Structure 1
Amino acid sequence: MGIRVLKGGMLTTVQDLGRTGYQSQGFGVSGVMDVRSFKIANLLLDNPENEAVLEFTLIGPTLQFTSETIIAITGGDFQPVINGSPAPMYTAIYMNKGDILKFSSARTGSRGYIAFSSYLDIPVVMGSRSTNIRSSVGGFKGRKLEDGDYLGFRMKRRYLPYFLSRKLDLDEFDQEDATLRVVLGPQKSKFTKQGIETFLGSEYVVTSDFDRMGCRLEGPFIAYRDTADIISDGIAFGAIQVPSHGKPIILLSDRQTTGGYAKIAAVASVDIPKLVQRKTDHKIRFQAITVQEAQKLYLDEIREMDEFRKQIYRPCKEVLDCRLVAKRLCKLFDQ
């Protein structure tokens, strides 16, 4: 009862919201890169918000299902097909025993997600099922998925208490340029006025040095006052370091726990999904906002998710069998 990995893809790992509370002991947080796509995937299946999913990058996996379940695919468009036929995204999909789900390279975006109604049977390590590849901790044997791996399910959940009544459309994955809202600091005083103006007024390009640890950008030199070095301190998700070469590096899920380079700003959490779905040579600009504005954006996103839940679910009088759910979903999708 689970899934067999026929092809592992470029980088497919088990992830949830991450391993929090251990950075002071040197353990990285890890977790999904695109939190928004992750939450929507679980929401579509009425899963717990932090239920583990598969995250894949640039080239998706090929999976064979050894039991019935329901899945949801979100994130970038990896052109999913089931048994050779195109599969819809952002909707619940009923999978039969023996079905093969295949992904190609990303047409839009760069990261995709699969949630499962039957829940992946992955052990919890330090409060999380996330994979930390650098430390070989968590997930499936502490590593990315490889051809021939087998992941089991924890339960036989083949029904949904709701059915989909609205399909989500995400146009931002088609965009090659993105503006990221940032909160300046905590070491903005390390940079000259001109350096900060350069940072906020210039266009930067995503380089090929872009992975789960961070995204290195190419662009105008950001001037600092004396030195970019600081006494090492903690690093938050989305923190923007500027080493002595003067080019920004945005630190992400598998970032180091501490760092000794000055941080000019941090990306607002609601804009990190826009960043992690970029590809090499895509362009990035930065826009300064206040802490209060960033907090308001975060609260607005929470309200958006609550409203989304109300819009895509409509309670049924009885619990629906998977096959009935699938038929209704197909009719809705065809409309």
Structure 2
Amino acid sequence: MTSRLSILSAGPGVTLQDGGRHGYLRYGITAAGPMDPLAHATANRALGNPLGATALEVSLGGVEVTAEGGPLGIAVAGGAFRLALDGAPLPPACALTLHPGQSLVVRAGRVGAWAYLAAAGRFDLPPTLGSTATHTRSGFGGLDGRALRAGDRLAVRDARPGPTDPHALTAPWLDRPPEEIRVVLGPQDDFFSDDQIAAFLAGPWTVTTKGDRMACFLDGTPLTHAKGYNIVSDGIAMGAIQVPGEGWPIVLMADRQSTGGYPKIATVIGPDLGRLAQAQGGTRIRFRAVDRAEAVAARRAEAQALAGPVAMEPLIRTDFTAEFLLGRNLIGGVVHGDVIPWE
């Protein structure tokens, strides 16, 4: 069955992302893909999709969607966003069936910068170089290489319903406080003296509001270079931490450039990329250096968490917000009575 996911409204930066466009870095084409790969995979796993299947990546601007043509299973995971189905609040990580005419709203909350909305089925999109990941700077992938906007309609092949009633996802691995980010030093840590490496690890650093899908910019006490700040340009991995001449570290993220000529003091390990990506502007972080063995162990633990189905719990409503109550007709009838004059 083919259903459609219709975009009713979308803030800036809502894009379609699969697991990424790999194998083309030598041609100057970076992978794109999700800013928080673990949350993206969790939303897909909850619906029985492949971990790298295409899903909506929702930024702080939020999104509102509905289904067309038939019921559609939906799962949302990522930051602590505020979700509502026809005005009824939902937990930030949940699975449900979206019926035609219903409205699912995803809005930014107090924690987290990205949420992922997966559909039970397969978004019918033409791949670009084997991937549907949107890279807006180059106009690759997704829907015409651009961010989604109101009026877009996305066909979903082999659409399936989700749970009859909304269920909360039990995904403890998404509880990742961002205060400590693990890194492997290098590849150009020799461009910094021991005291500057110690200063880099001690921090603290503040995530600025300047960042986007290309990079995370940090503020703090600037670092100084022992061997200058120019190198022969080399390849950039997601999570590479460049230190330009000004001394403030820049963490390269999903839409990074393919090469760079500033020394890289360290690289964020894969399992902590989402932890950093979810840090809103103003968050204070520190880096902790780990060896390769610890980084590999963290990656294995992440893979193990996603190896089986995602547990779900039915919702038991215990709170009724004013927004929810005002959206309901709570008057069951009107009784006419005699008017008693004021005496």
The two structures have a TM-score, normalised by structure 1, of 0.88
Cα contact 1:6–1:147 (8 A) shared by 2: yes
Taking the aligned partners of 1:170 and 1:47, their CA distance within structure 2 comes to: 19
Give % identity.
35
2:328 maps to which residue?
none
1:140 maps to which residue?
143
Instruction: Map 1:1-335; keep pairs closer than 5 Å.
Output: 1-66=3-68, 67-158=70-161, 167-169=170-172, 172=175, 175=177, 178-306=179-307, 309=308, 312=311, 332-334=314-316
The AA in structure 1 aligned to 2:157 is R
Taking the aligned partners of 2:309 and 2:197, their CA distance within structure 1 comes to: 42
Larger fraction in helix: 1
Cα contact 2:80–2:112 (8 A) shared by 1: yes
Give ranges in structure 1 of 5+ residues lacking alignment.
314-328
Range 74-83 or range 207-216, more displaced? 74-83
Taking the aligned partners of 1:159 and 1:296, their CA distance within structure 2 comes to: 33
Range 184-193 or range 292-301, more displaced? 292-301
Listed one character per residue, the Cα deviations across residues 196-245 of structure 1 (whole Å, up to 9, x for unaligned) are 11101120001111100010100112121121110000000100000001
The two structures have a TM-score, normalised by structure 2, of 0.86
- 1:10 alignment partner, SS class: coil
Taking the aligned partners of 1:193 and 1:165, their CA distance within structure 2 comes to: 47
Listed one character per residue, the Cα deviations across residues 65-92 of structure 1 (whole Å, up to 9, x for unaligned) are 1131100010112211111111344332
Q: How far did 1:301 drift?
A: 1.6
Listed one character per residue, the Cα deviations across residues 253-287 of structure 1 (whole Å, up to 9, x for unaligned) are 00000000000000111111110001111001011
Q: How far did 1:166 drift?
A: 6.5
- 2:170 alignment partner, SS class: coil
Larger Rg: 2
Cα contact 2:171–2:310 (8 A) shared by 1: no
Taking the aligned partners of 1:225 and 1:305, their CA distance within structure 2 comes to: 43
Cα contact 2:31–2:255 (8 A) shared by 1: yes
Taking the aligned partners of 2:169 and 2:56, their CA distance within structure 1 comes to: 24
Cα contact 1:133–1:142 (8 A) shared by 2: yes
* Count of equivalent residues: 312
